[in-house]
Amino acid sequence: MTTDCGLVGSRYVYIYTYNITTTKCSTWNIVRTVETRRVGGAGNFPSMPTPSRGRCGSMKFHTEYLTLHTKTKRAYVHLTPQVESALKKSGIKDGMILVSAMHITAGVYVNDNESGLIKDIDQWLETLAPFRQNYQHHQTGEDNGDAHLKSLIIHHEVIVPVTNGKLDFGPWQQIFYAEFDGQRDKRVIIKVMGE
Amino acid sequence: MTTDCGLVGSRYVYIYTYNITTTKCSTWNIVRTVETRRVGGAGNFPSMPTPSRGRCGSMKFHTEYLTLHTKTKRAYVHLTPQVESALKKSGIKDGMILVSAMHITAGVYVNDNESGLIKDIDQWLETLAPFRQNYQHHQTGEDNGDAHLKSLIIHHEVIVPVTNGKLDFGPWQQIFYAEFDGQRDKRVIIKVMGE
Amino acid sequence: MTTDCGLVGSRYVYIYTYNITTTKCSTWNIVRTVETRRVGGAGNFPSMPTPSRGRCGSMKFHTEYLTLHTKTKRAYVHLTPQVESALKKSGIKDGMILVSAMHITAGVYVNDNESGLIKDIDQWLETLAPFRQNYQHHQTGEDNGDAHLKSLIIHHEVIVPVTNGKLDFGPWQQIFYAEFDGQRDKRVIIKVMGE
């Protein structure tokens, strides 16, 4: 916004120039400049406060969807790079990221990217929630009762903190998608929320 | 805000009209209109940037509490309709919803709304965290040690993404309240946070 | 921002004074005052809307890190006081708090602060994810395979709702850090997000 004002009979014209820029994500920048031009007469303007730069309401949301199609029925897919990429695109410096499976036979967890441990996790989940024929869910024609229970143990989503534009993780924390009924397209939502 | 300015000796008066409206939830709408009226002399106004519509700081929070009283000690209650209703009331289009049990003998999870699977989940939780007399917690006079452990497996809360004003779920995802020590009033908090 | 405007040939000068103050956390306050001074001629100003006070974009983020060093390999540390302290420092009245272990052999959960139950939880986790030598993860030289699995059951993070400047918990809900491979410095992140 630029405002130019002349006062009748004054010696001066004060030209107040405000530039207010709005962006898609609601950030306002105000830059004030003031010029004084002699016109005639005695200026009688009240003093003008200086808003200088104001920052206001820069909350942003960025949502992405990944499609995963694993070759095996059960699989563990490292997702940290994709989440970091979504964060970078969002431009968010401080906030939280929701990473969530959009299915009820898959999960998302945070743990080590170590192949031995991933095998341990897979065997352990099979012990706690084994594949078997006689789940009552199978009366619907499904055969993936164990995948639902494995998903419940691992949990279907995580929240990742973001600080200074980076995943605020400890040194070994990595994000994994856990597939328990794969060999078909499955989706993950990544929602970044912050400033 | 409306600003009308005349410059001494100019042929034109530029009338810059800004309408800034503020609402309870901090949304600003700016509508600029410019009229030019001939007055005399050569206008010497600097060009005026166009803020057009700016959106700024419409972050909202909406909180609701549900009270549930199940007829049986253990029960699984479908909550998706109540969460959708809270979202609608909030007016939020993009954000996250926290759905959390306010008790330590209950949980909230996302999975299938299929009665056979719900029976499988119940039996499976009883296998992993069985009801028995000799929990050390029972020395306090309680008899619900198993309910605490079942709550820990299922987890007490979920975060649901919101996009375009809707729960951003896959086709089979539904929100459930899992009661492990019912037959009395229990509460669930639904907190919607976004824009 | 103060805008003073005179219209050529008018009897009046309308002095519109806007004070816009910006604060660190992006709150704007607008106070409008209008004075009318007779100058000459018939004033022909369009009516001026009243923005009065607008509040805009006071979203805040507050991040803290705790360092815990437990005397025993497994330990359960009550964190509610630290989380309440972080909330107080943040000044946030409505929002969510992420409390998350920054390690893959520890967790954060919400349940009862009762010593008998804590022993039950510990024994139960040892049953479901026992310490043993032959985890494949141990081929890397580690011996904490069980700690990873215990962390996965308990989950590494919780989201705590904030309403009216307080943790919006039920009467028995308390936040715990669960250590499964301690006797060394471990960190927890507390991120408060809201208004």
Q: Which residue has the higher pLDDT, A111 or A34?
A: A111
pLDDT of residue B58: 73
User: Is there a contact between A139 and B116 if contact means CB atoms under 8 Å apart?
Assistant: yes
pLDDT reported for residue C69:
98
C47: buried, middle or exposed (CB in 10 Å: 19+, 13-18, 0-12)? exposed
Q: What is the mean pLDDT of residues B52-80?
A: 84
Structure tokens of A53?
A: 């730069």
Q: How far is A100 from chain B (nearest CA, A)?
A: 9
Predicted local confidence at residue C147, as pLDDT: 98
Distance of alpha carbon A134 from alpha carbon A137, whole angstroms: 8
pLDDT of B142 higher than 60? yes
Residue B26 pLDDT > 80, yes or no?
Answer: no
| Mutation target among C78, C92, C111 for the B interface, most CBs of B within 10 A | C111
Residue A188 and residue A80 in contact, taking contact as beta carbons nearer than 8 Å: no
Instruction: Note the pTM of the prediction, 2 decimals.
Output: 0.76
Beta A157-163 vs A2-6: how paired, if at all?
unpaired
Considering only alpha carbons, which residue of chain C is nearest residue A5?
C5
Token pair belonging to C50? 């009243």
Q: Quickly state the pLDDT bin for A98 (edges 50, 70, 90).
A: very high
State the pLDDT at residue C58: 74
ipTM for this prediction: 0.74
| Unique residue bearing structure tokens 């004075």 | C35
Least reliable range by pLDDT among A85-99, B151-165, C57-71: C57-71
Burial status of residue A179 (CB atoms within 10 A of its CB: 0-12, 13-18, 19 or more): buried
Chain B residue closest to A5 (CA)? B5
- Segment B166-190, tens digit of pLDDT: 999 999 999 999 999 999 999 999 9
Considering only alpha carbons, which residue of chain B is nearest residue C117? B137
**Interface-testing mutation among B2, B4, B8, with chain A (most A C-beta atoms within 10 A):** B8
Residue B27 has pLDDT above 50, yes or no: no
- Contact pairs from chain B to chain C, CB under 8 Å: 148
H/E segment holding residue A101: strand A95-101
Question: Measured between beta carbons, which residues in chain B are less than 8 angstroms from residue A187?
Answer: 170
> Mean pLDDT across the stretch B73-90?
98
Beginning with the edge strand found earlier in the chain, give each strand of the sheet holding B186-194 in spatial order.
Answer: B60-68, B186-194, B95-101, B157-163, B166-167
Q: Which of C95, C120, C153 sits opposite B61 (nearest CB)?
A: C95
In this complex, which of A22, A57, A148 lies closest to B112 when CB atoms are compared?
A148
Type of residue at B63: T
Distances (CA, A) of C61 to A145, A194, C6, C74, C122: 41, 9, 45, 32, 34
What is residue A52's predicted lDDT score, i.e. its pLDDT?
28
Chain mean position to CA B95:
6
Taken as a whole, chain C contains a residue count of 195
**pLDDT for residue B3 is more than 80:** no
Scan for tokens 């743990």, then name that residue: A111
Q: Do C152 and A121 touch (CB under 8 A)?
A: yes
- State the chains in contact with C (3 or more Cβ–Cβ pairs under 8 Å): A, B
pLDDT band at A26 (very low <50, low <70, confident <90, very high): very low
> Which residues pair with residue B77 across a beta bridge?
B177
Q: Which residues of C touch A45 (CB under 8 A)?
A: 2, 4
Report helix, strand or coil for A37. Answer: strand
Query: Which residues have CB under 8 Å from B28's CB, separation 6+?
Result: B20, B21, B22, B54, B55, B56, B57, C54, C56
**Closest Cα to residue A176, out of A99, A97, A119?**
A99
How large a percentage of chain B has pLDDT more than 90? 70
Q: What is the DSSP letter of B141?
A: T
Mean pLDDT computed over B93-119: 98
* pLDDT for residue A23 is more than 60: no
For chain A, what is the mean pLDDT? 79
Work out the pLDDT band at A57, boundaries 50, 70, 90: low
> Nearest chain A Cα to B122, which residue?
A149
Task: List the single residue in C49, C120, C172 with the smallest CB-CB distance to B19.
Answer: C49
Find the CB nearest A28 among B46, B54, B170.
B54
Is C94 close to B8, i.e. CB distance below 8 A? no
pLDDT band (50, 70, 90) for residue A6: very low
The C-alpha of C112 sits at a distance from chain B's nearest C-alpha, in angstroms, of 7
The closest CB to that of B1, out of C49, C158, C170, belongs to C49
Q: How confident is the model at residue B32 (pLDDT cuts 50, 70, 90)?
A: very low
Chain C contact probe: residue of A16, A17, A58, A120 with most C CBs at under 10 A: A120
**What is the tens place of the pLDDT at every residue in C124-169?**
999 999 999 999 999 999 999 999 999 999 999 999 999 999 999 9
3-class state of residue C26 by DSSP: coil
Q: Which of C89, C32, C95 is nearest to C58 (CA)?
A: C95
What is the pLDDT at residue B156?
Answer: 98
- Set of chain A residues whose Cβ sits within 8 Å of the Cβ of B128: 128
- CA–CA dist A78, A15 (Å, integer): 58
A110 and C156 within 8 Å at the Cβ level: the answer is: yes
Q: Determine phi and psi for C89, rounding to 5 degrees.
A: -60, -35
Average pLDDT per 10 consecutive residues for chain C, totaling 195 residues = 35 34 31 34 34 51 98 98 98 97 98 98 98 97 97 98 98 98 98 97
- The residue in chain C having the minimum alpha-carbon distance to the alpha carbon of residue A53 is C22
A contact test, residue of B28, B76, B111 with most A CBs within 10 A: B111
Task: Find, among A5, A13, A20, the residue nearest to A39 by Cα.
Answer: A13
The beta strand positions in chain C, using DSSP E, are: 2-6, 12-22, 28-38, 60-68, 75-78, 95-101, 106-111, 157-163, 166-167, 174-179, 186-194
pLDDT band at B57 (very low <50, low <70, confident <90, very high): low
Out of C139, C149, C189, whose CB is closest to A121?
C149
Task: Say yes or no to pLDDT of A42 above 80.
Answer: no
| Side-by-side strand order, sheet with B174-179 | B75-78, B174-179, B106-111
* Cβ contact B56–C57 (<8 Å): yes
Helices marked H in chain A: 80-90, 115-128, 145-154
Query: Is there a contact between A102 and B169 if contact means CB atoms under 8 Å apart?
Result: yes
Mean pLDDT of chain B: 79
Can you tell me the distance from the alpha carbon of B78 to that of B81, in angstroms, rounded to the nearest whole number?
Answer: 8
Higher pLDDT, A106 or C45: A106
Residue B89 has pLDDT above 70, yes or no: yes
pLDDT for the residue C24 = 31
Mean pLDDT of A140-166: 98
Return the pLDDT at A58: 74
Residues C72 and B57: their CA atoms lie apart, in Å, by 47
Q: Which positions ≥6 away from A105 have C-beta within 8 Å?
A: A144, A147, A148, A150, A151, A180, A181
